[in-house]
Structure 1
Amino acid sequence: MAPSTLLLALCSGIASMLGFLFVTAITQADRQANRWLGMFYMCLACTFSQLFLYKAEMSQQLPLLVHLLELPVWATMPCLYLAVLTFTGQRVSNRHLVHFVPAFCFLVYSMLYLMPPLMGIDRPAPRLPFWLVVLIRYFYACQLAFYWILSYLKLSIHRKQLLRVASSIEYVNLNWLKNFLLAVLSMIVIKSIPTQPVSDSVVPLIYFAGMLLLGYYSVRQQTVHHLDLATVNSLKIDQGHMDQSYIQQGYKQAMERLDPEQLEKLQRKVLGLTVEQKLYLDPSLTLPDLSAATGIRVQDLSYVLNKGLKKSFYQFINELRVEEAKILLHSDKVKTLDMLGIATHAGFNSKTTFNTTFKKTTGLTPSQFQKLANASMATR
């Protein structure tokens, strides 16, 4: 068996194994999301099995199996999209079954195609018009692109929502899922390129590398705390829940309700209490937490930060943490703390975020700032 053919078999095996692991919920958290991810892998395994049969020139001997493997292919990207939805904190309901309409239509056609041979009826398969065959072929390609774009946009929106309500997003920003989608994109691009004889052996190798990346990112995924995701999608206030549409409506009402004088007053209150009580030192601080501490409605607080201070909640809190870090770098504590210690004492829970935010705010890395601070003290 040619190495390229063997690689396709390995891809199918890896996808099947990952599908089984995630469908059976190997992780305790994000079970629904991981089950959808497992279904995606199961469908992907069918795709690679089909490619293997074509590559091994066995499709003519096993036409029934080839057609059966085609059925789950139409559900591959919808499963991935629903996985992204659940990873970002949304619930999958019956209305989401509409995404599987193309797969259902193909199933109906398959019943007409498969049932007669299975029942021993010698009847040719129904012929589809040429235009419909072409439409189906291009529809599948469009489906791949459509659901990938939809998944990536959903993930991007999720990150923007996080910046509105969370001060630390390292453990909820789903960076692993972003890398996962990029790996899927590379495989979609390869599949869309017409196969040339010279690349006939290279494509399976790229697929194999892509499967290794998918497995790495999905197995190494960080557990997302659903309390944090709930903060994004529904803010708990006074024992009641407000969805995003209600929050946006409240934001507009705040715009109409607060005049410039009131806006400035609330702005001073937010800044004063946050700095005075050093609320920013809590790495898990959220917009509802700050709302409770200041006594300002979440909608009004969001409006004050965006309109008054011209900052997102994430930017507002982390800039205060940078100021705290600058004070620590000028103090004697710098003698007993490394940069991670400085970051932790300033309210950051990630050294990477600390370095990135510090450089963006001051134009210097923490180490460069410390050297300048030491040089300044030495000249005094």
Structure 2
Amino acid sequence: MDFPFAFGQKSSLLLIFFFHGIVFSFLLARKGILYKNKASKWLSFFLFLCALYISPYMLGYANWYSNKITREILFFVPFMQVLLIGPVIYFYTKTLLNNQFKIAKKDWIHFIPAILYLLYSLIVFITDKLILDEFYFYADGRDKDLANWYQIVGVISMSFYLIFSLKHYANYKKLVFEKVSFADSILFQWIQNFLIAFLSILILRVLLFILNPEWGEFGSQFWHYIVFSIVVFYISINGYANAVKMSFLGDINSESVAIFSESIIEEKPKQETINQKEIEFWKQKILQLIEKEKIYTNAKLTLSDVSKLLETTPKTISKSINSGFEMNFNDFINKFRIEAVKEKLEKGEHKKSTLLCIAFDCGFNSKATFNRAFKKSTGLSPKDYLQNMSS
């Protein structure tokens, strides 16, 4: 009996990527269960779907379409869930940005197209195998997963959800800068890299549709699936590394994201009107509080903290800072931290302590955040600034 998998150059290469996707899907699922991390579970599901996505081509190049038994496995098992990948990306994005996010009843509408395709696949199987016992739907001898209409609808679906996810992240990023003084710590740069990586896959797919007149032919799409596999390889490695990193930063997740992401993403606060006179009043109150209490030294300072200290609403403080100082809350607080650092440097404290210790004393929570904020404020790196002071 011949081995049911023909190891050729193309099938073996795709097999490596398939195995890699399955392994990392398992690792992320395990991490998600152990740490009760929903984002890891969604990414695990995404990688599993990607592994299934390349399966028909991997198995096709391994001669499965040439054998009756294996051909029917490819025909009747819906490996390519292109209508499911988009929603999974979207919910992975939402869950990563808000570890308290739960799917509501209304969210299940996103899965209806994928469910309908599964029902269609079931009808095809029942008709061709159980009722007629001959190919009716498969009379053309072509795998339904590879049908032109299905692949095109899949690209449209994934593009739609990618745009949804990018808008969601952009909204999160903008409002985080308005609400916390440690925005860099919860920006989740990984999700942006993840979405851009997936965008490259869709662009490649569209270019293949446009530039390759034979894109519907099985053998003409090998390079698309190789590039797809490479991008998924990148996503799996970096996604797992991010999951490991977040498991060590659990305090940031629980104390920061859980507190703010619900109000940032889900809620639409009522509009409050505030005139110029009120802005000037609150500007002075904010400056007095900062000068007296030095609240910027609190590395976890939030807009809500300031509003409670001044006994007003976060919206009032936000509007006063945005309009009165023409800055977002994060940059506004970092400005005072930078000034405090510069004051300590002028007093020569860097001769008794490290630059990083000084930065932490002034409210910064990481070296990278301090360096970015310092250069943004002064146009110089901290080391260059010190050199200029001594010259």
Note if 1:259 corresponds to 2:275.
yes
Moved more, 117-126 or 4-13: 117-126
Note if 1:325 corresponds to 2:341.
yes
| Secondary structure, aligned partner of 1:74 | helix
Q: Give the corresponding residue for 2:143.
A: none
Q: 2:260 aligns with which of 214, 232, 243?
A: 232
Q: Give the corresponding residue for 1:244.
A: 267
Question: CA offset at residue 200 of structure 1?
Answer: 7.1
Identify unmatched segments of 5+ residues in structure 1: 237-241, 376-380
Moved more, 159-168 or 112-121: 112-121
- How many Å separate the matches in 2 of 1:266 and 1:278? 17
Note if 1:22 corresponds to 2:28.
yes
Q: Give the corresponding residue for 2:97.
A: 88
Change (3 A) 1:337 1:4: farther
- How many Å separate the matches in 1 of 2:152 and 2:371? 46
Change (3 A) 1:320 1:30: farther
Q: Give the corresponding residue for 1:364.
A: 380
Q: Give the corresponding residue for 1:73.
A: 82
Confirm or deny: 8 A CA contact 1:291 1:301 kept in the other structure: yes
Q: Give the corresponding residue for 1:167.
A: 181
Moved more, 84-93 or 310-319: 84-93
Structure 1 residues 118-267: aligned runs within 5 Å = 118-119=129-130, 121-126=132-137, 135-194=149-208, 203=224, 205-221=226-242, 222-223=245-246, 225-234=253-262, 244-246=267-269, 249=270, 252-253=271-272, 255=273, 258-267=274-283
CA RMSD of aligned residues (A): 2.9
Query: For residue 102 of structure 2, what is the amino acid of its counterpart?
Result: R
- How many Å separate the matches in 1 of 2:351 and 2:174? 37
Structure 1 residues 292-311: aligned runs within 5 Å = 292-311=308-327
Confirm or deny: 8 A CA contact 2:54 2:225 kept in the other structure: no
Q: 2:17 aligns with which of 2, 11, 22?
A: 11
Q: 1:64 aligns with which of 62, 67, 72?
A: 72
Q: Give the corresponding residue for 1:378.
A: none
Question: CA offset at residue 70 of structure 1?
Answer: 3.2
- How many Å separate the matches in 2 of 1:59 and 1:286? 60
- How many Å separate the matches in 2 of 1:205 and 1:262? 60
- How many Å separate the matches in 1 of 2:350 and 2:119? 70
Change (3 A) 1:234 1:113: closer
- How many Å separate the matches in 2 of 1:29 and 1:325? 38
Structure 1 residues 341-360: aligned runs within 5 Å = 341-360=357-376
Question: CA offset at residue 155 of structure 1?
Answer: 1.4
Question: CA offset at residue 135 of structure 1?
Answer: 4.2
| Secondary structure, aligned partner of 2:203 | helix
Q: Give the corresponding residue for 1:282.
A: 298
- How many Å separate the matches in 2 of 1:114 and 1:201? 28
| Secondary structure, aligned partner of 1:322 | helix
Instruction: State the TM-score, normalizing by the size of structure 1.
Output: 0.85
Confirm or deny: 8 A CA contact 1:85 1:92 kept in the other structure: no
Moved more, 226-235 or 303-312: 226-235
Question: CA offset at residue 343 of structure 1?
Answer: 2.1
Identify unmatched segments of 5+ residues in structure 2: 1-6, 140-146, 247-251
Identity level (%): 22
1:19-78: per-residue Cα shift (whole Å, max 9, x none)?
A: 223334446556222222211111111112122022333234333332414353321221
- How many Å separate the matches in 1 of 2:74 and 2:304? 54
Q: Give the corresponding residue for 2:329.
A: 313
Change (3 A) 1:217 1:285: same
Query: For residue 41 of structure 1, what is the amino acid of its counterpart?
Result: L
- How many Å separate the matches in 1 of 2:352 and 2:196? 42
| Secondary structure, aligned partner of 1:220 | helix
Q: 1:35 aligns with which of 32, 38, 41?
A: 41
Query: For residue 259 of structure 2, what is the amino acid of its counterpart?
Result: T
Q: 2:285 aligns with which of 269, 289, 307?
A: 269
- How many Å separate the matches in 2 of 1:28 and 1:332? 48
1:170-217: per-residue Cα shift (whole Å, max 9, x none)?
A: 332111222222222233333444379999775555344323311222
Query: For residue 219 of structure 1, what is the amino acid of its counterpart?
Result: Y
- How many Å separate the matches in 2 of 1:72 and 1:203? 17
Change (3 A) 1:63 1:73: farther
Confirm or deny: 8 A CA contact 2:65 2:74 kept in the other structure: yes
Change (3 A) 1:203 1:338: farther
Q: May I ask how many residue pairs the two structures share in their alignment?
A: 360
Query: For residue 14 of structure 1, what is the amino acid of its counterpart?
Result: H
